[in-house]
Structure 1
Amino acid sequence: MIDHAHDLRSLREATDRLLTAAAKLDNAAMAEASRLPGWSRGHVLAHLARNADALVNVFEGRPMYESASARDADIERDAGRPLVEQLEDVRNSAAAFQAVADAPQDWSRTVELRNGVTDSAGRIPFRRLVEIELHHVDLGIGYELTDLPDEFTAREIDFLADRWSGHPEVPPVTLSPGDGRTWRTGGTEGAPVTLSGTPAQLLAWLAGRGDKGDALTTAGGPLPLLPPL
């Protein structure tokens, strides 16, 4: 069951964690490489700010981004700013998103995201939480997949397993954290594969983070490759 109020509370906490951690950096650290290929830490923070703006657009019925090229240009424009400006932008854009999300509205309505993707309005706070939590990890400043809240990790595994479900490039995959839970993803073609490991290791494979699943135990075949997110 979607609980947007719970997700908004979690989002505020996650945003505060990220801002507190990033405030310990300096201007030189902003220009250093993040864990995302081709992006500095400044790119990651600029993306988070512009993503908040884009989700305000979603709530208010406008296109999420003017275009893919405009999105990329805005991130590139803002990536080189000093730390204090980056933090202020992330904080202010997050507050603007929270203000729109706190307004009375129909949370069951369908909204449109990028590339024609649609979702219920009630799922948008969790989508924003994903951006904050995973990109906090991407900053490479001491916050790891193993530090993510357990509830978040399980829900993100749910979300990404569903995303790759039925994908023709992915064989049938069973994900097992060894605690009685299982997730299934992938298509119907090819030999079934079972991947076993901790929830953080399973998320690493699904989200293309960390070791990208190399620490998982595989049975039935090699570690499948996933398309880019």
Structure 2
Amino acid sequence: MIDHVQDLASVREATDRLLSSASRLGAAAVAEPSRLPGWTRGHVLAHLARNADALVNVLRGRPMYVSGEAREADIERDAHRPLTVHLADLRESAARFQTQGELQADWDRTVELRNGVTDRAARVPFRRLVEVELHHVDLGIGYELEDLPERFTEREIAFLADRFSRTTTVPPTLLSAAGREWRTGGGDGPGVTVSGPAADLLGWLAGRRDGAGLAVTGGPLPVLPPL
């Protein structure tokens, strides 16, 4: 069951962890490469701030971004700022998101995200939580997939498993970690079982790890489409 109030609290806690970690960086570290190809840590921090504002737009019934080109341009524009400016922007944009999320609203309504994707308004805080937690890992500053809250990891595995369950290029796949199981894949053919630590399973599903830490039976490790 989706609890947007609890998810908003989790977003606040995750944002505090992110700000605490990022505040310990040296001034030059923001220009160093992140774990995302082609992005510095500054790009990641800029994206996180602009994503908070974009999700405020979603909750207000506005387009998430003016355009894909504008989204990329805003990230590039903001990526090269000093760390102190990044941190202030993250705090302020996070506060705007929290304020919007605390307003009385119809949380069962359908909202539109990027590329025509729709969802319930109540799931928007969890989507923000995913952005904050995974991009904290992407910064490469000591916060790893293994450090993510267990409940978050299980929910994101379930979310991604559901997403890929309609992907015909992925064979029927049973996912197993820490005594939990999920099913994904929308293609034909014999089933595949992928099992291992929850952090490795999430890393593979989210495109953060290559699956080397997972055990596969019934065939090769499925190739997942990019997120």
Q: Is the CA contact 2:169–2:187 (under 8 Å) kept in the aligned structure 1?
A: no
- Confirm or deny that 1:183 pairs with 2:156: no
Deviations 1:60-98 (A, max 9, x none): 111000000000000000000000000000110000010
Matched length: 227
Deviation at 1:155, TM superposition (A): 0.2
Deviation at 1:215, TM superposition (A): 0.8
Deviation at 1:190, TM superposition (A): 2.7
RMSD value over aligned CA atoms?
0.8
CA–CA separation in structure 1 for the residues paired with 2:178 and 2:139: 30
Deviation at 1:27, TM superposition (A): 2.2
Question: Counterparts of 1:52-201 in structure 2 under 5 Å?
Answer: 52-179=52-179, 181-201=180-200
CA–CA separation in structure 2 for the residues paired with 1:93 and 1:58: 14
The residue aligned with 2:20 is 20
Deviation at 1:178, TM superposition (A): 4.7
Q: Is the CA contact 1:65–1:71 (under 8 Å) kept in the aligned structure 2?
A: yes
Match for 1:190: what amino acid? G
Deviation at 1:191, TM superposition (A): 2.7
Q: Is the CA contact 1:206–1:212 (under 8 Å) kept in the aligned structure 2?
A: no
Deviation at 1:189, TM superposition (A): 1.3
List alignment gaps of at least 5 residues for structure 2.
none
- Confirm or deny that 1:208 pairs with 2:207: yes
Q: What SS class does the counterpart of residue 48 from structure 2 fall into?
A: helix
Q: Is the CA contact 1:178–1:196 (under 8 Å) kept in the aligned structure 2?
A: no
Q: Is the CA contact 1:21–1:141 (under 8 Å) kept in the aligned structure 2?
A: yes
Match for 2:193: what amino acid? T
List alignment gaps of at least 5 residues for structure 1.
none
The TM-score with structure 2 as length reference comes to 0.98
CA–CA separation in structure 2 for the residues paired with 1:144 and 1:190: 35
Match for 1:58: what amino acid? V
Q: What SS class does the counterpart of residue 72 from structure 1 fall into?
A: helix
